[in-house]
Structure 1
Amino acid sequence: MKCVDLFCGCGGMSLGFQKAGFNIVAGIDNWKSAIRVYGMNFNHPIIEQDLLDVDEAVKIIAAYAPDLIIGGPPCQDFSTAGYQDESRGRAILSVCYSQIVSKVKPKYFVMENVATIRNTTSFRNAIANFHTAGYGLTQMVLDAAYCGVPQTRKRMFVVGMLDAPDSFLDEELRRNLSQTPMSIHDYLGDSLGIGYYFRVPTNYSRRGVFSIYEPSMTIRGVDRPIPKGYKGHPNDPVPVEQVRCLTPKERSYIQTFPESFQFVGGKSDVNSMIGNAVPVNLAKYVGSALMRYIMSNESRDNNEGN
């Protein structure tokens, strides 16, 4: 099944859906640094295109005749780690995504975003566009820690299928959820060579030192060294003097990028790429659920045809 990835970034969603068995035929983004990294790690085309230009994007995408469009429109305006203000401009990209899908009309689509998007006008407008175009929708918030990712990261997934009932994929999406959240140690063992690490808290009423025997907090698009003014927190499991921050490469592992995945560019850009990516295994989890549903449907249709 041919798939095009919009707002593909460095390729977390592409890689996950590729691992789930989909044929990624193109990635599209407008961020030069991420485009360079994507091109180093995939054999199919990566196209530089501003997806605000819906008509031009539709021409490019339609040429690939995709069965599936996937994508995670930039979420900074919705994110609890960002502005939580959808008037800042990027919110409209979710609506653009829905317009592109509605015009190209692949049989399936998957849209990923932060969980808080469901409270926004932009999200409601996007959902209305999908329904008007004839898509049945599954809408579900998944925590990556229960989907094969050693990280607490809640994300909204909207999966659409033409002429399907709403909630068509709910059962498959729930089928393989883990009973317990995955810790860093569950995934990486002792390979990091540390038992604890530091992550700058969003405010100093929260702890900054974490254990590898728990899921990572959400990997963000920015990372900072240990502040000289950090005096520790009552819930820190060990003194801050005994720990270090994770490197960008280590943060990519927690986003479940393989060791072989290459990152190039300035540290700020690389951190942004890693933090903004859809975790590979989370994308694979959703892609695998959709693939099972498709295969089951095709098998049933073939049996009925016989």
Structure 2
Amino acid sequence: MKCVDLFAGCGGLSLGFEKAGYDVLAAFDYWQPAIDVYKENFTHPIFNQDLTNEIEAIGKIRAYPPDLIMGGPPCQDFSSAGKRDITQGRADLTYHFANIICAIKPKWFVMENVEQIKKSHILTDVVEQFSNAGYGLTAVILDASFCKVPQARTRFFMVGHLGDSHNQLTNTIRKNLSEKQMTIRDYLGNQLGVELYYRHPRNYNRRGVFTIDEPSPTVRGVNRPVPKGYKLNTCDPVDADLEKVRPLTTIERSYIQTFPSDFKFSGTKTNLEQMIGNAVPVNLGTFIANAIAEYCAYGAINDSLFDDIMPFVLPNKTLNRMSY
């Protein structure tokens, strides 16, 4: 299947789909540091394109044309790491993504975002827009640690298939989830050379020290050293020796995002931390890509029982109805 990646960043979603056997033809982004890294790692072109200029973007995308368009519109306005202010403008990029999809009408699309988008009227709006354009939609919330990623990163995915019914991929996705969360040791063994590491909490009521025998918390766009005078939280491992605890390096954090060791990163530390934190974990992209490929090959597994509203797949593999 031929694909185009919008809001591609440094290429986590592109690489994930390539690993699943998809043919990524081109990518689009508007942040030059990420574009520079993308160019170092892929042979197809990436365009520095403002996707709010829909007419220009649509013209470039149609030149390929893709069977599938994927993308993660920047999510800071929804994110729990941000101010959750959807009036700031970045959330509008979700509308631009939807407008581009509905203008080009690929057979498939994949949209990724943070879990908090489910609380926004913007999701309601684009669900209606996609449905009116003839897409059958499957919407899921996935914990990446159940999808071969050593990170408890919870993300929203919406998959659209032109001319199909809603929820057709739900059971396939549920079936493919791992029975248990993947830990850092499961994925990297002892490669990091540490048993404990520091990840700066949003506030000091939360833990900051983690073990490699659990999934990493969400990799964010900031990475800070252990502060002087940091005191162990009651949630931290009781035997942690802060003299021996360090934060993961930038490249180690890319491994947690399941970028391979031969993926080339260049640029300032600040920019690299940001693009790695913003990326879709490579293996999470592959998980979604494999679900689509399996559906294309075999069809829906036990047609979904839900016709009127879309279910969300939760990390514990239960279904939860949600009204928009």
TM-score by length of 1: 0.96
Give how far 1:168 is off: 1.0
Q: Could you tell me whether the CA contact under 8 Å between 1:146 and 1:180 is conserved in 2?
A: yes
SS of corresponding position for 1:101: helix
Show the counterpart of 2:9. Answer: 9
- Deviation per residue, 1:4-61 (Å, 9 max, x gap): 0000000000000111111000010000000000000000011110011111111111
Match of 1:253 in 2: 255
Deviation at 1:239, TM superposition (A): 3.1
> Given that residues 21 and 291 in structure 1 are in contact (C-alpha distance below 8 angstroms), is that contact kept between their aligned partners in structure 2?
no
> Which secondary structure state, in structure 1, belongs to the residue aligned with residue 243 of structure 2?
helix
Counterpart in 2 of 1:165? 165
Secondary structure at 1:242 match in 2: coil
Counterpart amino acid of residue 274 in structure 2: S
- Is 1:80 the counterpart of 2:83 in the alignment? no
Contact kept, 8 Å, 1:145 with 1:182, in 2: the verdict is: yes
Q: Residue 198 of structure 2 aligns with which residue?
A: 198
* Root mean square deviation of aligned Cα: 1.1
Deviations 1:204-232 (A, max 9, x none): 00111100000000000111111114222
CA distance, structure 2, for counterparts of residue 229 and residue 200 of structure 1: 13
Comparing 272-281 with 287-296, greater Cα deviation is found at 287-296
The separation in 1 between residues aligned to 2:52 and 2:92, in whole angstroms, is: 8
User: Could you list the runs of 5+ residues in structure 2 that have no partner in the other structure?
Assistant: 300-324
SS at 1:157's partner residue?
Answer: strand
The one-letter code of the counterpart of 1:284 is T
The equivalent residue for 1:53 is 53
Query: Equivalent residues in 2 for 1:1-306 (5 A)?
Result: 1-237=1-237, 238-297=240-299
Contact 1:144–1:282 (Cα < 8 Å) also in 2? yes
Checking the alignment, whether the CA contact within 8 Å between 1:69 and 1:108 is kept in structure 2 is yes
Percentage of matched positions with identical amino acids: 54
Task: Determine helix, strand or coil for the equivalent of 1:88.
Answer: coil
How many residue pairs were aligned? 298
Q: Distance in 1 between matches of 2:103 and 2:200?
A: 43
Is contact 1:141–1:156 with CA below 8 Å preserved after alignment? Answer: yes
Deviations 1:83-125 (A, max 9, x none): 1111111000011100000001000000000011011122211
Q: Deviation digits for residues 241-283 of structure 1, max 9, x if unmatched?
A: 2200100000000000000000000001000110000000000
| Structure 1, unaligned runs of 5 or more | 298-306
Higher mean C-alpha displacement, 229-238 vs 282-291: 229-238
Does structure 2 conserve the Cα–Cα contact (< 8 Å) formed by 1:232 and 1:239?
Answer: no
Corresponding residue of 1:301: none
SS in 2 for 1:222: coil
Counterpart contact for 1:95–1:123, Cα < 8 Å: no
Q: Within 2, Cα distance between the matches of 1:289 and 1:7?
A: 22
> What code does the residue aligned with 1:261 have?
F
How far 1:188 moved relative to its partner?
0.2
- SS across alignment from 2:26: strand
Whether the 8 Å CA contact 1:16–1:287 is kept in 2: the answer is yes
**Match of 2:302?**
none
Distance in structure 2 (CA, Å) of the matches to 1:140 and 1:54 = 27
